[in-house]
Structure 1
Amino acid sequence: MPTDPRTDAYIEKQADFAKPILRHIRARMHAALPEVVETVKWSRPFFDYKGHPLAIMSGFKAHASFGFWRRDALRTGQEGEAMGQFGRLTSVADLPDDAELDEMIRAAAALVDAGEGAIKRKAKPAKAEPGVPPELAEALAGDAAATATFDGFPPSCRREYCEWIGEAKRPETKARRVAEAIGMLREGKRRHWKYEP
């Protein structure tokens, strides 16, 4: 049973009531799914399977918790008020029996095998191409080198220049920023070039 010494250290730091709970969960994970890999994420023991998070366990002052990463897809019928699916665990008896828990573990692994291991997030819509402030557009029209650099930048870099100039309220500030931008663009520099490695 491949174990992670960080999990051992985590369990040893927990309250006496929590240690047997966490050890039991760990043993069931390895018994039901020998391929499971222990790791630590967000300072808590995690169990990964084929590179995907499968389950997490935690110890707190007055309870422990355990839950599956894809709890929504497992439909175990159990949901607690604490982090995890089984509520506030204060003893091993608060967990499902070994056969039921093992079946849940295998069901979670089956989700990964079926290609459903990752939580699917909605793709963020791409930001619109920035509108070039008229003052910057006019300055770029008169400077081929600055225009070539500006046009060669990805949209995020062009947006930084456009927003910086566009947010200026006074015409003098806007003019100063346009002059600075043209100078930096002639040198091929991004807006925040000072902070790049």
Structure 2
Amino acid sequence: MHTIVQVDQYIINAAEFAIPILDHLRNLVHKADARIEEKMKWSMPFFELKGTVCHMAAFKYHCAFGFWKGSLLNDEFNIFKDREQAMGMLGKIKSFKDLPPDEVLIAYIRQAIKLNEDGVKLPPKPKTNEKPALILPQYFLDALQGDPTALNIFQNFSESNKREYVMWLEEAKTESTKQKRLDTAIEWIAEGKPRMWKYKK
């Protein structure tokens, strides 16, 4: 199905209150720049020109309109309620009263297009090297609590030593193997031994 037809269909299928709002937003985008192309992504209409410019969506009781690079826009007219959370989103649009004036929105759309034309990219998301928090399986916790010596020693183990024991237990293919490993683990921990103690000199 042709994208324009898909966007038409999206608008027609929206809640009654949303249809004129979506139509209006769509017209403003094309008014801002006739070169804009429409795409359907993630089941919602996106507007593109040398990259994604903005998108719109309809929900049961409100519409939303967002700028792909909203965090880089100069929000001169303060149209984004909460910059940190919204990141360039106009959410909770229930009527035309919730929209900024047409000329303001057009200016923002043109600003977003210029970012794409100038090749401005969003900053990369910071890479986190943090491992997910270590969660002890309940059966392991119960077994440790049943042996105060093992529990005390385990609490003072390094994060990696704790993880090695948890992984060893969780990788057991059968319940009987898991039980054997659990008995061994409690015994070794009570003796202050890390999981790989045999291989450490």
Regarding TM over 0.5, the answer is yes
User: Which residue number in structure 1 is paired with residue 69 of structure 2?
Assistant: 70
User: Which residue number in structure 2 is paired with residue 49 of structure 1?
Assistant: 49
User: Which residue number in structure 2 is paired with residue 134 of structure 1?
Assistant: none
Q: How does 1:60-139 map to 2 (within 5 A)?
A: 60-76=59-75, 77-80=78-81, 85-116=89-120, 118-122=121-125
**Cα deviation code 1:150-186 (max 9, x no counterpart):** xxxxxxxxxxxxxxxxx999xxxxxxxxxxxxxxxxx
**TM-score (norm. length: structure 1):** 0.57
SS of 2:89's partner is coil
**Cα deviation code 1:46-101 (max 9, x no counterpart):** 00112x11101000000000010001001322334797622300112211111111
Structure 1 unaligned regions, length at least 5? 126-166, 170-197
Give the direction of change, closer, same or farther, for the CA distance of 1:101–1:3 in structure 2 (3 Å limit).
farther
Query: Which AA in structure 2 matches 1:119?
Result: L
Name the Cα RMSD after superposition: 2.9
Distance in 2 (alpha carbons) for counterparts of 1:68 and 1:121: 17
CA apart distance, 1:113: 1.2
Q: Using the aligned pairs only, state the percent identity.
A: 37
User: Which residue number in structure 2 is paired with residue 14 of structure 1?
Assistant: 14
**TM-score (norm. length: structure 2):** 0.56
Q: After superposing the two structures, state which structure 1 stretch, 73-82 or 100-109, moved more.
A: 73-82
Q: After superposing the two structures, state which structure 1 stretch, 97-106 or 72-81, moved more.
A: 72-81
Q: After superposing the two structures, state which structure 1 stretch, 7-16 or 80-89, moved more.
A: 80-89
User: Which residue number in structure 1 is paired with residue 32 of structure 2?
Assistant: 32
CA apart distance, 1:122: 4.9
Structure 2 unaligned regions, length at least 5? 129-167, 173-201
Aligned residues: 128
